[in-house]
């Protein structure tokens, strides 16, 4: 995937009107500042644009920066994903909390006994149940998890930019990386990796410094 048409349009708007504020850019595109923020962040971190407080955005001419950014956005999730942390749906909330802290993650993926994805449970989900009166050593994690099909996933062949947009658009902390398998005529999802905000930060830190 190359720079999106929106990102190219942003660059042209800034070139022709620099310095220009994010509000002014958003108005020219008919968008909100919130919708524009991910694109501006990418272009700024890539050193294609820069910004001065109370002044606005301006174009930074660095040969090769756009091409390097496009290569980053085209990278496949299978080359970036981290190891998934999975618990079974029969696991207790207590064991899920222990796993969460031992693995130092904010989200757990939940599988059935065959190992297929059935849900996701977040730190917030577990916190909510622990402040109640439930016996968390007996309560199964399946009671508090978000269930399929309301789970946002990514796949190994998807691009870095596609997964990034999912994190932003759906306001989630982590995406299970899945592959599809046919089981008794049904499509099931096997978790093979994890793409999280931490993964995103690490990728940006290691790659954008080279732009």
Mean pLDDT of 33-40: 90
Residue 193 vs residue 4, higher pLDDT:
193
pTM for the whole structure? 0.70
Residue 99 vs residue 5, higher pLDDT:
99
List the single range of 2-6, 23-27, 84-88, 156-160 with lowest mean pLDDT. 2-6
- Given a cut of 80, is residue 65 above it in pLDDT? no
Domain 5-62 bears CATH identifier 3.40.1370.10: no
Mean pLDDT of 109-128: 94
- 3-state SS of the chain is CCCCHHHHHHHHHHHHHCCECHHHHHHHHCCCHHHHHHHHHHHHHCCCEEEECCCEEEECCCCCHHHHHHHHHHCEHHHCCECCCEEECCCEHHHHHHHHHHHCCCEEEEECCCCEEEEEEEHHHHHHHHCCCCCCCCCEHHHCCEECCCCCCECCCCEHHHHHHHHHHHCCCEEEEEEEEEECCEEEEEEEEEEEHHHHHHHHHHHHHHC
Give me the architecture of the 72-209 domain, per CATH: Roll (3.10)
Domain boundaries, the chain: 5-62, 72-209
pLDDT of residue 187: 92
pLDDT of residue 1: 44
In tens, the pLDDT along 155-200 reads: 999 999 899 999 989 999 999 999 999 988 899 999 999 999 999 8
Residue 200 vs residue 133, higher pLDDT:
200
């Amino acid at each position: 995937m190359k720079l999106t048409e929106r990102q190219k349009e942003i660059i042209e708007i800034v070139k022709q009107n620099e310095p220009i504020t994010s509000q002014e850019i958003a108005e020219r595109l008919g968008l909100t500042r919130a919708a524009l923020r991910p694109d501006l962040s990418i272009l700024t971190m890539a050193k294609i644009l820069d910004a001065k407080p109370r002044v606005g955005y301006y174009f930074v001419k660095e040969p090769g920066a756009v091409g390097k950014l496009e290569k980053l956005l085209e990278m496949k999730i299978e080359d970036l994903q981290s190891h998934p942390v999975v618990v079974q749906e029969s696991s207790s909330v207590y064991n899920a909390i222990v796993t969460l802290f031992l693995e130092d993650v904010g989200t757990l993926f939940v599988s059935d006994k065959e190992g297929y994805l059935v849900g996701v449970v977040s730190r917030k989900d577990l916190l909510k149940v622990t402040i109640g009166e439930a016996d968390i050593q007996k309560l199964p994690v399946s009671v508090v998890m978000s269930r399929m099909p309301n789970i946002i996933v990514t796949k190994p062949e998807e691009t870095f930019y596609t997964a990034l947009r999912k994190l932003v658009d759906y306001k989630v902390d982590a995406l299970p990386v899945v592959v599809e398998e046919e089981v008794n005529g049904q499509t099931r999802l096997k978790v093979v990796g994890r793409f999280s905000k931490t993964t995103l930060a690490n990728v940006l830190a290691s790659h954008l410094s080279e732009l």
